[in-house]
Amino acid sequence: MDYHAELGGRRGDAEGLELLYQQARRKGEELLFAEALEVWYVAEPQQLIWQVWHHRLAQEAKRLSEPRLNWKWLLPIGLTVAVLAGVFSNDTALQRTSFRGQQPWLFLIPPLIGLGLMIYFGVSERSTVSIRRAGFLGGALVLVSGLGTWFASQTGWFRWFSESRNYETLLMVNLALLSWAAVGFAMVGRESRTVFAFLRKSLEVFVAGGVFSIVAMLFLVLTFGLFDALSVNLPYWLTQGLMGAAVAVAILLAAAGNYDPSRRADEQVSERGLGRLVLLLMRVLLPLSIVVLVLYLGFMLFNFLKPFQDRDVLIVYNLLLFAVMVQILGLTPLDEEEISEQWRTALRLGVMVLVGLVLLVCSHAMAAVIYRTLQGGYTINRVTILGWNAINLFLLGLMEVRMLRAGAAGWVAAVQRTLALAGWIYPAWALLIVLAGPLVF
């Protein structure tokens, strides 16, 4: 409907304008109505009717700008994802095609969710996603997932059978990372600010997805418990498939409900609701993290050789690096004006101290990883951890240098550029592990 023409013809009919607006609401075209009215308001600001409607819609602007689910597309996409995720998580359904007895293909669920999101975002109304770019990235994701699956099934590619099993475990993590990256590359360009904004929004989506998944699993557990109370034993293949499908659909809904494809990524970072909760949590944890790391450094002096002897300690260190990157991502504002100058200075100092402490702790871990690799030989697990350690240490060191050079006035942009760079380096290393790992090990 041409709302501009309809509004122009009803400028003197208050009842007609109200009926037209209610009609637009029923069709889900409130934004189109508001955009057309704003054109008339700018063209004829002296008209009282446009002034009234302008201020009325201004009060509803926040509600109108929230992402709205397009159920016409989300239902078939969600149903397809649910069915395939149920199959991929079901060892009975894949028993004949599995390459190690009854091992479900869980690593294919993240690419499945990623493809579903790219299709949904691409076909959504007024989407800013390039269909051609989304199609290319979707095809690339299918190709990489297919190659990874084929490599995992060809145990003869690897020197030892254990390496094949380790590769399958790494495949789950790396394909999840590549699926998230493919969705991100389809949504944003190369500008550091928009990449950082997408990363921040992704953090909100991951939190929402975790909550949705927990609720879905609790619902299924209660459902299974009700049937069990009546001595009705549901087939194992059904319960296993439902759990996989529930988690996949929960993550799909969390992403679709929190991200609006019609708006730029930097227009969606919210300081309200879940976004504010994540921001507050990360900033509250900053001083606590510093205290814990200071205490840990003291105890580390008395257990200096522990990482050289125990691989579990190295895994904890590696997780620490990622946790710090996530914490810095969550507490960094999109715009410096979001916080006062006093708190901005304090936040900069806190981040710099945190990064410095982590560099000390994990440089020690890096030495231990190199030592164990030289002593025990190269394995796909050790090289993967070595790579992630090197990447995170490089990024944190670069962040520290940039923050020092930028000073109090430009440190936010410096952190954003570094985190945006991580958004490119992480998928590159994951892709290298998936494709080159079987050829080397």
- Cα Rg, the chain, nearest whole Å: 26
Q: Which residue has the tokens 């921040």?
A: 200
DSSP string of 334-395, one letter each residue: SSGGGS-HHHHHHHHHHHHHHHHHHHHHHHHHHHHHHHHHHHH---HHHHHHHHHHHHHHHH
pLDDT at residue 400 tops 90: yes
Write the pLDDT tens digit of every residue in 179-227: 999 999 998 878 888 899 999 999 989 999 999 999 999 999 999 999 9
Write the pLDDT tens digit of every residue in 12-41: 888 888 888 888 877 767 777 888 888 888
For residue 115, the SS3 value is: helix
pLDDT-derived band at 303 (thresholds 50, 70, 90) equals confident
Tell the burial category of 373 from Cβ atoms under 10 Å away from its Cβ (0-12, 13-18, 19+): middle
pLDDT-derived band at 101 (thresholds 50, 70, 90) equals very low
Average pLDDT estimate for 249-277 = 80
Three-state DSSP string of 88-99 = HCCCCCCCCCCC
Write the pLDDT tens digit of every residue in 81-90: 999 999 888 7
pLDDT at residue 106 tops 80: yes
Q: How far apart are CA 22 and CA 340, in angstroms?
A: 42
Name the least confident of 262-271, 285-294, 331-340: 262-271
H or E element that contains 11: none
Closest C-alpha among 118, 242, 243, 106 to residue 176: 106
pLDDT at residue 273 tops 70: no
| More confident: 62 or 257 | 257
Q: Domains of the chain: which residue ranges?
A: 3-65, 71-267, 273-440
Q: How far apart are CA 149 and CA 158, in angstroms?
A: 14
pLDDT at residue 160 tops 70: no
| Mean pLDDT (the chain, rounded) | 85
Please count the CA atoms within 13 angstroms of the CA of 129 that sit on its side-chain side: 26
Contact 41/49 with Cβ under 8 angstroms? no
Tokens linked to 327: 């914490």
Tokens linked to 376: 């025990």
Average pLDDT estimate for 243-265 = 88
pLDDT-derived band at 99 (thresholds 50, 70, 90) equals very low
Contact 113/253 with Cβ under 8 angstroms? no
